[in-house]
Structure 1
Amino acid sequence: MTTPGGLSPAEKVERVARELALRVGRYDAERDHRAAFAYTYYRLTTSLTTALRTGTPPFAEPDWVADLSVSLASAYFSAMDATDTWLAAFPRSGGEVAPGDLPDAVPPPWRDVYAASSVRHSYVLEEVLFSMMAHMSYDLPLALRSLDARAGNHRHIGDFHRMNDLLATCVDEVQDDLAARYCRGLRSLDRLFTRDDELFTNYGIRMARGLAWFNSDRLREPTSADAATASISRSTAAFITRIRFPGDWKLRAVSRLLRLLIPPRRQWPAPGTPID
């Protein structure tokens, strides 16, 4: 089916994937730590493109699925573009930054992610987890609210669940390819993050997206909108703190020790390496 704008749902999402691929290539060339999540996002988006093109799973309203993908990606692109504008104005040659160093044009969760990834001993898996948290806990509820203002979402909950299933079942393959591209020791980092990497699993994807749907409902309700906005703005920082500074002192000591012992093991693909 082709939309009034001339693009089919699959073609709309394919355009998102192409933009993500361009960013992956640029981040790789610049040795920018945002590359790992951009690659993860690209791979998940190409899986959705294939699903829309083949009709597997059979979405009831593919146009809505594509519109949600486009709206969600637009939030991510805007945050990255605002970060790029800041970097162009204040060039960095390494070193840590604080969330408050970034401008208000960058949403709070993405400021938290960029700052956390700027530390000297940051891991690829962390950077992907932090970015996924910002994207699913903050960008997704706002994208859902935006779509609801136009057409209403609740009749689309079946398609939203099908999207959850599709993305969740892709995670293991994507994680393997991510490890091969950026960090061959990715699997060994599980001992450092214990269960905190659950977000990057079949179960974690479903839970995070389900919570996003719930928070989108809270954002639409006038009596809870302010509290919901504050909550989704804080959640990424809280997640980062939980990973970097566990509440129990013994866990903090173990985490600190493992960070000293386990090297980042970051690698970069050779120029010209295919993104697929």
Structure 2
Amino acid sequence: MTGADEVALVAAELDRRRAVFERDRDPRASFAFVYAVLTRSLEARLRRADTGFDDPGWVAGLATTLAHEYLVAMDAVDEALAAAGAGPRDLPSARAFRGEVPQPWRDVQAAFGHRSYVLEDVLFSMMAHISYDLPRALRRMSATEPVTGHVADFHRMNDVLGEAVEGVQDGLAERYSRGLASLDRLFARQDELLTSYGIRVARGLAWYNTDRIADPSASAEAFASIGRSTGAFVREVRAPDDWRLRLVLHVARFLVPERRRWPHPATEPAARPVL
């Protein structure tokens, strides 16, 4: 099995999860869709005769290891919801998620329970996945081989994802929210994360935090930092420092409908790469 085949299996599993989330009207669907599109774009690059990577096998390994972190977290969320007999938007607080759900994903789930919008669902999940899951995946990879020798390929992955993400917002809006370009931006002012530049910056910070985790003198604070970052990001978006904007957003959440749509499973195709 080639590295591209391994990444294809990851994309297929993300598509399967996306379909389940859509069936259940679960806010996790929109990020699963974005993640599947980006993964298929990486797969398409890995299938080229000239991938542009020095070590395509390492790139595929990082993609699968990173997806594992996400899928394990989603399994833990599913178990917590089932144990509570709750739907994906029923639990009012991140503290309601016990057990194996990592703190950043608790913060994301808690946001879902307070009238989240499509773009928020994606951005909060991206923040947890890049700021928390990615350093952990890189650390796991370094257990068998130092990742420092792969920094060039890591940044080339940024190029692939950056090229793909330019078209992701259009697909996201078409699938879940026709008003994404206008309405959702009111509620998620930090949408720069869903851009080529935003992904590069966030992934660069994840690489830096991987180095911090590897340093015994900085490891504890690094783990604490990546655990806090998603919650801080959610608060920054939903409760900005400017009290006037905070008041406007608070009132708007009760006056403006969510405008969320759900594709029909019989007619909507699986996620495809943005090339």
TM-score where L is the length of structure 2: 0.94
1:252 and 2:239 are equivalent in the alignment: no
Which of residues 204, 211, 215 is equivalent to 2:209? Answer: 215
Give the distance between the partners of 1:57 and 1:209, measured in 2 at CA: 20
1:174 and 2:157 are equivalent in the alignment: no
Is this contact kept in 1: 2:66–2:134, CA < 8 A?
A: yes
Q: Deviations over 1:164-201 (max 9, x none)?
A: 01101111211100110011111103641474111011
Is this contact kept in 2: 1:192–1:258, CA < 8 A?
A: no
1:150 and 2:144 are equivalent in the alignment: yes
Q: CA deviation at 1:250?
A: 2.2
What SS does the aligned partner of 1:150 have? coil
Give the distance between the partners of 1:271 and 1:73, measured in 2 at CA: 24
1:270 and 2:259 are equivalent in the alignment: no
Taking only aligned residues, the RMSD between alpha carbons, in angstroms, comes to: 1.4
Give the distance between the partners of 1:55 and 1:18, measured in 2 at CA: 22
**Ranges in structure 2 where 5+ consecutive residues have no aligned partner:** none
Q: CA deviation at 1:97?
A: 2.2
1:77 and 2:51 are equivalent in the alignment: no
TM-score where L is the length of structure 1: 0.93
CA gap 1:17/1:223 in 2 versus in 1, 3 angstroms: same
The equivalent residue for 1:4 is none
Report the residue type matching 2:263 in the other structure.
Answer: P
1:113 and 2:114 are equivalent in the alignment: no
Give the distance between the partners of 2:13 and 2:263, measured in 1 at CA: 19
Range 188-197 or range 264-273, more displaced: 188-197
Give the distance between the partners of 1:264 and 1:274, measured in 2 at CA: 24
Is this contact kept in 1: 2:162–2:200, CA < 8 A?
A: yes
The equivalent residue for 1:206 is 200
Q: CA deviation at 1:256?
A: 2.3
Q: Deviations over 1:43-65 (max 9, x none)?
A: 00000000001145411000110
Q: CA deviation at 1:100?
A: 0.8
Give the distance between the partners of 1:79 and 1:266, measured in 2 at CA: 24
Q: CA deviation at 1:17?
A: 0.5
Which of residues 89, 98, 101 is equivalent to 1:103? Answer: 98
Q: How many residues in Structure 1 have an aligned counterpart in Structure 2?
A: 269
Is this contact kept in 1: 2:107–2:230, CA < 8 A?
A: yes
Is this contact kept in 2: 1:57–1:162, CA < 8 A?
A: no
**Ranges in structure 1 where 5+ consecutive residues have no aligned partner:** 1-6
1:124 and 2:124 are equivalent in the alignment: no
Q: CA deviation at 1:92?
A: 1.6
Is this contact kept in 1: 2:45–2:51, CA < 8 A?
A: yes
Range 86-95 or range 218-227, more displaced: 86-95
Which structure has more relative contact order (CA 8 Å, sep 6+)? It is 2
Q: Deviations over 1:83-137 (max 9, x none)?
A: 1112222222553421111123010000110111122x21010010000000000
Q: CA deviation at 1:249?
A: 1.3
Report the residue type matching 1:51 in the other structure.
Answer: R
Q: CA deviation at 1:159?
A: 0.3
Give the distance between the partners of 2:185 and 2:137, measured in 1 at CA: 34
Is this contact kept in 2: 1:192–1:259, CA < 8 A?
A: no
CA gap 1:92/1:195 in 2 versus in 1, 3 angstroms: closer
Give the distance between the partners of 2:188 and 2:224, measured in 1 at CA: 28
Give the distance between the partners of 1:33 and 1:100, measured in 2 at CA: 19
1:15 and 2:1 are equivalent in the alignment: no
Is this contact kept in 1: 2:119–2:184, CA < 8 A?
A: no
Is this contact kept in 2: 1:190–1:197, CA < 8 A?
A: no
